[in-house]
Amino acid sequence: MEPRVEKTHIDGGDGIRIPVRRVYLSNGDTPLDLYDTSGTQGTDVREGAPDVRTPWIEKRGGVEEHERSKAPAEGLMPESLRRRTALRGKESVTQMYYARQGVVTEEMKFIAAREKMDAEFVRSEVERGRAIIPLNINHPEIEPMIIGRNFLTKINANIGNSAVSSSIDDEVEKMRWATQWGADTVMDLSTGKNIHETREWIIRNSPVPIGTVPLYQAMEKVDGVPEDLTFDIFMETLIEQAEQGVSYFTIHAAVLLRYIPMTADRVTGIVSRGGSIMAKWCLAHHQENFLYTRFREMCEMMRHYDIAFSLGDGLRPGSIADANDEPQFAELRTQGELTKIAWEYDVQVMNEGPGHIPMHQIQENVTKQMEYCDEAPFYTLGPLTTDIAPGYDHITSAIGAAMIGWYGTAMLCYVTPKEHLGLPNRDDVKEGVIAYKVAAHAADLAKQHPGVQEWDDAISRARFEFRWEDQFNLSLDPDTARKYHDETLPSDGAKVAQFCSMCGPKFCSMRITQDIRDYAAEHAVAPEDAVAVGMQEKAAEYRDSRSG
Amino acid sequence: MEPRVEKTHIDGGDGIRIPVRRVYLSNGDTPLDLYDTSGTQGTDVREGAPDVRTPWIEKRGGVEEHERSKAPAEGLMPESLRRRTALRGKESVTQMYYARQGVVTEEMKFIAAREKMDAEFVRSEVERGRAIIPLNINHPEIEPMIIGRNFLTKINANIGNSAVSSSIDDEVEKMRWATQWGADTVMDLSTGKNIHETREWIIRNSPVPIGTVPLYQAMEKVDGVPEDLTFDIFMETLIEQAEQGVSYFTIHAAVLLRYIPMTADRVTGIVSRGGSIMAKWCLAHHQENFLYTRFREMCEMMRHYDIAFSLGDGLRPGSIADANDEPQFAELRTQGELTKIAWEYDVQVMNEGPGHIPMHQIQENVTKQMEYCDEAPFYTLGPLTTDIAPGYDHITSAIGAAMIGWYGTAMLCYVTPKEHLGLPNRDDVKEGVIAYKVAAHAADLAKQHPGVQEWDDAISRARFEFRWEDQFNLSLDPDTARKYHDETLPSDGAKVAQFCSMCGPKFCSMRITQDIRDYAAEHAVAPEDAVAVGMQEKAAEYRDSRSG
């Protein structure tokens, strides 16, 4: 059979079509279907991504269309994607709400087929708050996915322009690029010009949920002066983004006034942008964080769109020196308090976590998060396990990410090689995504998640049997695997060779093992008996036969 | 003060000079001295590296010079480096021998100063067999280093040409390049032409111990036919390499005949080259591995040169599917048996370990190795924590390496991005070394090894205070850190800017934190009291003053 890779769909019943990357193997084994996040690639971005969910949303009903509070500016947004109205639930339209009613939504069925789990189990995890399905009703292009520790570990890629550089097109392209390599969600952290339109272009083309930190846009509205922020400006921003289709908001509601002075003695103080902005606001006004005091008003709004909270960790440590300290865990406890409030409103919640943590202090983060936040999904940034390697923080943090994933973190926010140094370009985004796919898969293996090891086994068999094309096609990044192989042995002949460039033809250990195995089979000796049955004679035979 | 980096030496007493990378900081803080493996860089390779140890070896005495059994061929080796004689101890000249006599050698003093430990502690660890100091008396150019879990975690870089590509010059340059970035030892795994001369060029220029797998050269002598190997040919190869100055030999003496059939049902059989060669020999002759049966003869020879065993793990798993299986641990038990035999001869020993291991099965490897091998140092290849990412196995394995280092592995053998695909070039060697320096340092942090966190703290303070040049100079790879920064903000002005390209000038969280801290200091409020003392008034003051 011709080895190849194909993007296709499997039938999930009820008209549900699950995207997969199907790898056809040269030895005729059953093709392997891999989880696929890539959506549509290579099409005109003015067309947007296909609508997956509208029929499901309409079928459930309970929503009404309304004029948007803000629509994208003409010129900056193609007419084909420019929407003047948005949907809003008359009451709760969250997946948690449906789960609590005992309803298995189409989104849950989609996820069940995608994750090879039972749909009722998906529902029960969402009901319990142990998993979330981020999908604003205004983002019907989403191919539903779930974030929870009893499912595959997910990764998030951050994109976003800044005051210093980059454009709308760049950001849409980065989103596509990130999903091509496996990003399960994308956060748009833009802070510069055209923030509204950039986000809308991204959402209209995205097959994955888009998260934001609404505070960044709110800050634009007060000319970058934290003290001038108000809850009304913030809420207006939330609604604007709700209408666009953002699926989760990072909200730094747990940075309390009394925690701020605890950070003054840190080596690196407050490193979260959102955390520092709210800290400055609190100190300037000597008032409690309005995101905390008016948290219920946000819950009340978000339940009408099905937007999830990603409760920010504004006081996360910014260095190994500050790991697992008092302000960090004080904030985490407040995140837990807020989690339970959001649940009162059927609003889905995950909790953000650090940051910079040495390996021996990682597990405590997960243990405390599960305890304080009643097992709501944990979503961590790395953590970086050392500070000494700027330029390689995708690696310092992939180590921590793999471990924290194993311990039970549901989603890992990627870190690129540019972390602490500059803005990631296209190559950096790919490096970050791949490092985090590695971490997430390593975590799933360590958790012994059902079916996960099949992928490793398929590639190991291909490797052992010198099925080079299969090995490339099964790789997380087939392009790079093929390129690296071809640097040393470029000819097509080398791709069917029973050896590789590392050892050359003479010393190939895999070939020798195959000889051993063939020999055992030929002589009909069960492996465990091979020695016992007196192989002296056979050995002599074998020695003689090798000249033939 | 002008920030800069300097290679210099610190005085260890008794004429001992310890190499360090000294980082002078722009804020006038005490310069930071970092462990340095780089030896001499940029000099003519025909001069060789400086002689460090000859006076110490001569002072101890008990050695005699003899004609070498094999000297490098004229033409392939520069006359300046061509040695016709070698040293040999009349009796034991191993560091373990001296340690057992209660002697603190100069090498131990050097290491004590280098590791900031007590010299008597160094001696006691070597006596106990818990640490080794690999340094053949025929490699006087070594700057002594130690491998043991109570010292800094070390890394090894493999180099070596193969039948398919590369030249002598390339390999010498790769050795220098690897030590420049931090390789603590280098293994020369050459298998092609000029194997003897390649190795000798490398040794004469190397500041770090060189390890080999002598079996590869022995195989050249039998034209690549494993069945034709004999102990005499093998021993002749060992002596040839002993005279050149190799400091440790990987020897697959624990691959026993009865373990071989256990591997037939594996997904990836035997993946170690040495392991598969010995397996083939054993099966062909139906005899026990001669490296096992004649192990004592090797010990007897090696004690005269102070060469350490690196007991190979020929049956290590080559895939996640085969991790921690019966043949792997059977071999490990035999490694333990051989460790104790070597110790009878005062020969230093470390044990090689896997390989491919999912995270949840890593710790068992260390626990068993310590138990079976009586705490002799463990030296692992990775392990890779998943098989799905060829092209990124420096990352899949850095995860495993960091963890196994934390659990107590003393040295981590690097893996490059080309693993399983092709031969590493210069860039790949650097990528591999850096990924493993990250893993080793992360492990040392997690072990809370004394003094290790100073490096992280120094770079974190520099980062927080926008001392960009200090941050670059303190980086594991200053070139890359500087380059990445300059891609977004290339001007010199940006290197003193109080912001960076990630957030731009307005939203900088570090600047905001500094404001908070300044505010607290200015108002003489202890952080813990800041809230309690009634800051309402101060807050108003602060709000007003920000316009000024």
How do residues B480-495 score in pLDDT, each as one tens digit?
Answer: 999 999 987 766 666 6
Contact B459 A388 (CB under 8 A): yes
Quote the minimal CA–CA distance from A59 to chain B in Å. 40
Residue A527 pLDDT grade (very low, low, confident, very high; cuts 50, 70, 90): very low
Q: What is the pLDDT of residues A73-119, one digit of tens each?
A: 888 888 888 899 999 999 999 999 999 999 999 999 999 999 999 99
Check residue A503 and give its pLDDT. 56
Is the confidence at residue A14, as pLDDT, over 80? yes
Contact B268 A471 (CB under 8 A): no
Check residue A545 and give its pLDDT. 46
Contact B386 A505 (CB under 8 A): no
Q: Which two tokens stand for residue B251?
A: 């020897």
d(CA B18, CA A254): 50
Quote the minimal CA–CA distance from A92 to chain B in Å. 35
Largest CA distance in chain A: 91
Is the confidence at residue B13, as pLDDT, over 70? yes
Average pLDDT over residues A220-249: 96
Contact A283 B528 (CB under 8 A): no
Give me the sign of the Cα torsion angle A112, A116, A122, A124. Answer: positive
Quote the minimal CA–CA distance from B426 to chain A in Å. 13
| Cβ neighbourhood burial of A532 (10 Å; 0-12, 13-18, 19+) | exposed
Contact A276 B488 (CB under 8 A): no
Contact A530 B387 (CB under 8 A): no
Average pLDDT over residues A512-521: 68
Looking at residue A178, its amino acid is: A
Contact B396 A321 (CB under 8 A): no
Quote the minimal CA–CA distance from A221 to chain B in Å. 13
Q: What is the pLDDT of residues B318-375, one digit of tens each?
A: 999 999 999 999 999 999 999 999 999 999 999 999 999 999 999 999 999 999 999 9
Contact A487 B422 (CB under 8 A): yes
Q: Quick one: angle between helices A326-344 and A295-302, nearest 10?
A: 50
Q: What is the mean pLDDT of chain B?
A: 91
For residue A28, report the phi and psi dihedrals to the nearest 5 degrees: 80, 5
Are residues B430 and A361 in contact, defined by beta-carbon separation less than 8 angstroms? no
A–B CB contacts, 8 A cutoff, strictly below: 463
Check residue A492 and give its pLDDT. 67
Chain A residues touching B439 at Cβ < 8 A:
399
Check residue B410 and give its pLDDT. 98
Q: What is the pLDDT of residues A347-398, one digit of tens each?
A: 999 999 999 999 999 999 999 999 999 999 999 999 999 999 999 999 999 9
Residues of chain B with pLDDT > 70, as a percent, come to 89
Quote the minimal CA–CA distance from A118 to chain B in Å. 26
- Name the residue in chain A with its Cα closest to that of B218: A507
ipTM value greater than 0.90: yes
Chain B residues touching A531 at Cβ < 8 A:
257-258, 260-261
Side-chain-side CA neighbours of A218 within 13 Å: the count stands at: 28
Q: Quick one: angle between helices B426-446 and B393-407, nearest 10?
A: 30
On whether any CB of chain B is under 8 Å from the CB of A234, the answer is: no
- CB atoms near residue B11 (< 10 Å): 10
Average pLDDT over residues A526-547: 45
Are residues A288 and A295 in contact, defined by beta-carbon separation less than 8 angstroms? no
Beta strands in A184-230 (DSSP E): 185-188, 210-212
Q: Which two tokens stand for residue A175?
A: 């989103």
The beta-carbon neighbor of A319 closest among B273, B391, B456 is B456
Q: What is the mean pLDDT of chain A?
A: 91
Contact A464 B319 (CB under 8 A): yes
Parallel, antiparallel or unpaired: strands A17-24 and A32-35: antiparallel
DSSP state for residue A208 in the 8-state scheme? S
DSSP state for residue B152 in the 8-state scheme? P
What is the full DSSP assignment across B85-133?
EEEEESS---HHHHHHTT---HHHHHHHHHHTS-HHHHHHHHHHTSEE-
CA dihedral A35, A40, A45, A50 (to 10 degrees): -100
The beta-carbon neighbor of B391 closest among A279, A437, A475 is A475
* Among A125-129, A304-308, A433-437, A512-516, the least confident range: A512-516
What stretch of H or E contains A331? helix A326-344
Looking at residue B285, its amino acid is: H
CA dihedral A136, A279, B461, B541 (to 10 degrees): 150
The beta-carbon neighbor of A438 closest among B320, B389, B425 is B389
DSSP state for residue B51 in the 8-state scheme? P
DSSP state for residue B176 in the 8-state scheme? H
Looking at residue B42, its amino acid is: G
User: Which of A 370-399 lie inside 8 A of B, CB atoms?
Assistant: 385-392, 394-396, 398-399
Average pLDDT over residues B139-163: 92
On whether any CB of chain A is under 8 Å from the CB of B276, the answer is: yes
What stretch of H or E contains B181? helix B168-181
Are residues B346 and B327 in contact, defined by beta-carbon separation less than 8 angstroms? no
- Name the residue in chain A with its Cα closest to that of B469: A421
Check residue B507 and give its pLDDT. 54
Is the confidence at residue B541, as pLDDT, over 60? no
User: Among B362, B457, B475, which residue's Cα sits nearest to residue A399?
Assistant: B362
Chain B residues touching A226 at Cβ < 8 A:
512
Contact A488 B423 (CB under 8 A): yes
SS3 A209: coil
On whether any CB of chain B is under 8 Å from the CB of A524, the answer is: no
On whether any CB of chain B is under 8 Å from the CB of A417, the answer is: yes
With residues binned 3-state (H G I as helix, E B as strand, rest as coil), the percentages for chain A, rounded to 5, are 45, 15, 40
Residue A128 pLDDT grade (very low, low, confident, very high; cuts 50, 70, 90): very high
The beta-carbon neighbor of A488 closest among B164, B219, B318 is B164
Parallel, antiparallel or unpaired: strands A210-212 and A248-251: parallel
Q: What is the pLDDT of residues A414-470, one digit of tens each?
A: 999 999 998 888 899 999 999 999 999 999 999 999 999 999 999 999 999 989 999
Are residues B338 and B350 in contact, defined by beta-carbon separation less than 8 angstroms? no
Quote the minimal CA–CA distance from B97 to chain A in Å. 36
The beta-carbon neighbor of B163 closest among A275, A471, A506 is A506
Sorted by sequence, the CB contacts under 8 Å of residue A491 that are 6+ apart come out as: none
Question: Which residue, among A513, A522, A547, would best test binding to B if mutated, counting the most B CBs under 10 Å from its CB?
Answer: A513
On whether any CB of chain A is under 8 Å from the CB of B487, the answer is: yes
User: Which of B 129-188 lie inside 8 A of A, CB atoms?
Assistant: 162-165
Sorted by sequence, the CB contacts under 8 Å of residue B507 that are 6+ apart come out as: A163, A191, A216, A219, A224, A273, A277
Chain A residues touching B481 at Cβ < 8 A:
390-391, 421
